[in-house]
Structure formats: C-alpha cells, structure tokens
Amino acid sequence: MKLVAFLDILGFSDLVDNNSFDELGKIYEIFERGYKHGLTLNRYVRTKDGITNDFSDCNIQAVQISDSMIVWTKKETIISYYNLIKTVRELLGHGMFSGLPLRACIHYGEFGHHINFHSKEISTNTFYGKSITTSYKMCEKQSWSGGYITKEAIEAYNKIIDSLDDESLISRTKIESLEKRHFLKKFKVPFKNEEASEEYCINWVNWQNPKKTLDGLIKTFAKFKKSTNSDREKEIIKNTVKFWSSCPERVK
C-alpha cells in the first residue's frame, strides 16, 4: 500500500499538434525543471559542475510518460506523505506559472513497482495496482486545473499521525496544520458530468507565484498554442478561476 499521486497536463493534444518537435522538446524542458524542483522540494547542492537539484534525501519517486506523471512514497512515514503533498503542490504551482496547467489526484492503495531489468544499455519497469487506476480515473474526471486528496488517502495520512509520539512533528504535519498554513484548502471539486464534492484540495495559489493575476491565469491555458475555445475548455478555465478567486493569498 502506498500514497500515490497521478498528474496530467491539460491541453496535451494541442501541445503536440500545434508545436514542432523541437519546440515540444523545449516545452518539456520547462516541465522537467518543474518536477525536479518539486521532487527535491527546491533543495540544491553545489557540485564540481555547479549548483544542481539535491536528490540525496528524496523520499519519493516519480515516473513521467508523455503527458502523465505518477509520484509515490518510498516509505510509509509521515515525512514521506507530507513531502508528497508538498511535491504535488510544487508541480501544480510550477505548471500554472509556466503555462502547463495540470490536474492531480492523491490516493492511497495497492501499488507495485518492479525493475524488471536494468543495465547501462536498457532499463524496463512495471507499474501496477489500484492506486494508479483510481488516481488516474479521479484525475481524469476533474473539470479544472487543480488537485485533491481522496478520503482514503486522508484516512491513511491521519492513521500515521495517530501513531506518532512526537508532538512537534504532529503539530507541523497534521491535516489541520496544512490547511491553516494554506497547503490545503477545503473546496468543492468540479467533476465532469457529476456533482461537485467537497474535498481537501491542493492550494497551488499560495505557491511561489502568488502574483499570478487573473489575466495571467487565463493566458496560461492558451500558452504554447493551446486551444481555449471549446465549451469544455471554457468550463475548465471558469472552474480554475473560481478556486483561485476563493484564495485570499492571490493578488487581485
């Protein structure tokens, strides 16, 4: 059993269809910088080649395939869980800042990862489990750029909190503290063809780019020649703006 996040890029078909192969490579470099920052929580180390992301103490892992990313915890500890939530927040914030709006869902469930073969020449991996399929389905249903934590994941998180003796760690990492510090926000998640449901949502608005204005937010969806003209696309933008507008951390 693992805490697992599934993320996908909105407007990916337009990215591929409307940009050259070389342009697409440069766009992915932007996304790569974002997930490196996210996975290391903006920790850096100085090497002989200069300053680079510090992965030495990284307690989560990730794989990216095309427009999708799976992020999971290495260990079942509160720090791993806490860092996964912070990582998803970093990714959502960086995506919105850089013109690659994302959707995300964090779920708890069965997860398997096998390295079938690894050498200098080739590496093959297998990923499986209901945590992947469930987080994918719940991610796909969302009608905005944003993310939330399922009730199963909240329950698993709280179970670890209840097992701790360190009051300082409990105070810093409990769900109520994350909400108070604007990491999380209770909000009705908009779903495609379903009623909205109140969940603990990732508060990407209070990320490193709080100066994102309403005009800048809307332009993010059209960046890199992405379409914003269909009813579905307009609905996603409207719902994202609704969440942004509910956050006092934003710049009006």
Residue 67 to residues 5, 90, 103, 137, 246: CA-CA distances in angstroms?
A: 14, 17, 11, 15, 28
Higher-scoring residue by pLDDT: 223, 37: 223
Cα separation, 63 vs 65, in Å, equals 7
3-state DSSP assignment of residue 5: strand
Its pTM surpasses 0.85: yes
Cα separation, 218 vs 215, in Å, equals 5
pLDDT of residue 42: 66
* Fold exhibited by the domain 2-245: Alpha-Beta Plaits (3.30.70)
Which pLDDT band, with edges at 50, 70 and 90, does 117 fall under? confident
How many other CB atoms are found less than 10 A from the CB of residue 15? 21
Q: What percent of the chain has pLDDT over 70?
A: 94
Q: Is a pLDDT exceeding 70 seen at residue 113?
A: yes
156 burial type by CB count under 10 A (0-12 exposed, 13-18 middle, 19+ buried):
buried
Quick one: average pLDDT of 93-97?
A: 87
Amino acid at 29: E
Cα separation, 87 vs 71, in Å, equals 9
Which pLDDT band, with edges at 50, 70 and 90, does 251 fall under? very low
Mean pLDDT of the chain: 89
Q: What are 58's two structure tokens?
A: 């990284």
Q: Is a pLDDT exceeding 50 seen at residue 252?
A: no
What letter does residue 213 receive in the DSSP assignment? -
Q: What are 65's two structure tokens?
A: 């395939």
Q: How many CA atoms lie within 13 A of 115 on its CB side?
A: 6
240 phi/psi in degrees, rounded to 5: -65, -45
Residue-wise pLDDT tens digits, 134-184: 999 999 999 999 999 999 999 999 999 999 999 999 999 999 999 998 899
Higher-scoring residue by pLDDT: 166, 51: 166
Enumerate residues 6+ apart whose C-beta is below 8 A from 175: 154, 157, 158, 161, 184, 200
pLDDT of residue 55: 67
Contact by Cβ (8 Å): 132, 6? yes
Q: Is a pLDDT exceeding 80 seen at residue 120?
A: no
Q: How many residues does the chain have?
A: 252
What letter does residue 42 receive in the DSSP assignment? T
Residue-wise pLDDT tens digits, 189-235: 999 989 999 999 999 986 655 556 788 888 999 999 999 999 999 99
pLDDT of residue 249: 58
Quick one: average pLDDT of 24-35?
A: 82
pLDDT of residue 51: 76
Where do the structural domains in the chain lie, given as residue ranges?
A: 2-245
Closest to 166 measured CA to CA, from 223, 225, 82, 41: 82
Residue 80 to residues 13, 37, 64, 181, 199: CA-CA distances in angstroms?
A: 33, 16, 19, 18, 21
Q: What are 119's two structure tokens?
A: 């050498």
